Amino acid sequence: MPALTLDPLFADDDRRKILRSTDFTGQDILSVSQFDRDGLEYVFIRAHEMREMVDRIGYSNLLKGHILTCLFYEPSTRTSASFIAAMERLGGSVIPITQGVQFSSVSKGETLADTIRTLEQYSDAIVLRHPEIGSARIAADYSSVPVINAGDGAGEHPTQALLDLFTIQQELGRIDGLKIAMVGDLRFGRTVHSLTRLLTQYDVSLRFVSPEILRLPLVLMNEVKDAGLNVRETHDVADVIQNADVLYVTRVQKERFSDLAQYEEVRGHYEITAELMQHAKERMVIMHPLPRVGEIHYSVDADPRAAYFRQVRNGMFIRMALLAMVLGKA
């Protein structure tokens, strides 16, 4: 009876892979590259459970007695509030170091490594926002408690990418088979880059809509092509509006243009208006990482396809799921 001696959980390689990719206890969350499809699916199942729990009951005691340090070297009210809410809705507590770090002893010549090794003495996990690329990796190397990267400069902001993808899945019920258009500043937009990387794991069609000077970097475009995805670039959102299942909109900043006349000429091609939305599918979603400054007109807000504030809420659920997972309570 060989079946009895073989642990069924390890009966085949696939099974093993799922187990590996879904056990996050004690792990750091630093990059979207940590997540394969099984990992993503697992995070989304947990996040969906959090959503149902909050909608029905409002809170849980899952992380009661646990302490999260939110260490923000740059202010980011939106992100820090989301993590604080996530921790508190799970019954946990927060040490909020979200403002003025630059004035305190933490930054008076002390290395990030020492600051992290100090704060880990008090807390069960650390969320870090820092202006320098690679800072989250350094923090994780020195920390004995899980570190979650909440943005390391031009580097990554993985929880944002996860909430973006989770929103697509929640809004449209699936990811495979969708036509997804990224609109705006595709060159510098960290959220666009991370979401695009996650999407290379799925069978999606991608459309990149940007001014010439703000096109997706070549290295990313090559990753998309290597993944075998159907991809095309264009200069006008009007070209993609009819077929898109997802419009992921980011801001085209005036400051990127040396010639302001050029900016004025093209800006209209990247603005989402109620009129434009008349050409869109009935079942599709508009997303935005926020804050917006005019690139989606306020007249669009009442449109049921406007998903950007639901997207914000999903951010709380994703962070609840991740916190529970890294603290071994998922």
Residues ≥6 apart with Cβ < 8 Å to 114: none
119 binds a second copy per the rule CB under 8 A? yes
118 binds a second copy per the rule CB under 8 A? yes
Nearest residue to 185 via CA among 265, 295, 84: 295
Q: What is the end-to-end Cα distance of the chain in Å, rounded?
A: 34
221 binds a second copy per the rule CB under 8 A? no
Kindly tell me which of 36 and 88 has the beta carbon lying closer to a second copy.
Answer: 88
The DSSP symbol for 29 reads B
109 binds a second copy per the rule CB under 8 A? yes
Catalytic residue among 22, 79, 98, 191: 79
Report the 10 Å Cβ neighbour count for 162: 27
Q: Can you tell me the distance from the alpha carbon of 256 to that of 259, in angstroms, rounded to the nearest whole number?
A: 9
Question: Closest distance between a second copy and the C-beta of residue 306, in Å?
Answer: 11
Residue from 82, 159, 169, 250 that binds a second copy (CB under 8 A)? Answer: 82
Catalytic, 78? Answer yes
Residues 208 and 234: beta-carbon distance below 8 Å: yes
114 binds a second copy per the rule CB under 8 A? yes
Kindly tell me which of 158 and 315 has the beta carbon lying closer to a second copy.
Answer: 315
Which residues, in sequence order, are bridge partners of residue 181? Answer: 207, 247
316 binds a second copy per the rule CB under 8 A? yes
Residue from 1, 2, 5, 58 that binds a second copy (CB under 8 A)? Answer: 58
Count of residues interacting with a second copy (CB under 8 A): 55
110 binds a second copy per the rule CB under 8 A? yes
How far are the Cα atoms of 21, 42, 205, 208, 209 from residue 270, in angstroms, in the given order? 38, 34, 19, 11, 8
Tokens of residue 109, six digits: 């010549």
Among 57-65, 153-161, 220-228, 242-250, which window interacts with a second copy (CB under 8 A)? 57-65
Q: Can you tell me the distance from the alpha carbon of 140 to that of 149, in angstroms, rounded to the nearest whole number?
A: 9
Positions in the binding site for a second copy (CB under 8 A) = 57-60, 64-67, 69, 75-78, 81-82, 84-85, 88-89, 91, 93, 95-97, 99-101, 103-106, 108-110, 113-115, 117-119, 121-124, 290-293, 298, 309-310, 312-313, 315-316
- Annotated catalytic residues are 78-79, 108, 129, 157
